[in-house]
């Protein structure tokens, strides 16, 4: 019997990098829990992943910026998005503004908790 687990439990108080827990790794699909405490894509870098991805924000607030879009998409709890393979994207953050508003082109993050599914 598989043990019961909860995505919202056992969250660390601090992190130096995003925490990624693999929840399911089966042929054709990989499901991950990603915990971020305001981490952002380094300046000038973009994620360019080999697989299609589906992401849902479970808690907090985050911004997702696609290279082919002029403004970031603000994600609130329950928001989800499909990211096609090789669609370049990044997470933006402004640490001077904490959690509740946009500040120019950057967004503040408040302890986002994300679940994502990669289709392989």
pTM of the predicted structure, to 2 decimals: 0.74
**Which SS3 state, helix, strand or coil, does residue 119 take?**
strand
pLDDT of the chain, 120 residues: tens digit per residue:
888 988 888 888 888 888 888 888 888 888 888 887 777 888 889 999 888 888 888 887 788 999 999 998 988 888 889 899 999 999 875 443 333 333 222 333 455 666 666 666
Residue from 116, 106, 115, 4 nearest 53 by CA: 116
CATH number where 62 lies: 2.60.120.10
Total tally of structural domains belonging to the chain:
1
CA angle at 55 for the pair 89 and 14, rounded to the nearest 5°: 85
**Residue that the structure tokens 């408040």 belong to:** 110
Residue 13 belongs to a domain: no
Residue 11 belongs to a domain: no
DSSP H or E run through 74: strand 73-75
Residue 80 belongs to a domain: yes
- Look up the domain containing 111 and give its range: 19-119
Residue 2 belongs to a domain: no
Rounded to a whole number of angstroms, the CA Rg of the chain reads: 14
**Residues paired with residue 43 on neighbouring β-strands, in sequence order:** none
What backbone torsions phi and psi does residue 119 show, to the nearest 5 degrees? Answer: -100, 115
**Residue 96 corresponds to which tokens in the numbers above?**
């001077």
């Amino acid at each position: 019997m598989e043990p019961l687990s909860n995505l919202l439990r056992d969250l660390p108080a601090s992190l130096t990098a995003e925490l990624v827990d693999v929840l399911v790794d089966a042929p054709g699909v990989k499901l991950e829990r990603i915990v971020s405490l305001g981490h952002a894509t380094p300046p000038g870098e973009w994620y360019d992943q080999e697989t299609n991805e589906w992401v849902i924000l479970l808690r907090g607030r985050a911004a997702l910026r696609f290279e082919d879009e002029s403004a970031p998409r603000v994600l609130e709890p329950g928001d989800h998005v499909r990211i096609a393979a090789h669609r370049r994207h990044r997470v933006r953050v402004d640490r001077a503004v904490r959690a509740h508003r946009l500040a120019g082109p950057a967004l503040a993050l408040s302890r986002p908790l994300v679940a994502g599914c990669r289709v392989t």
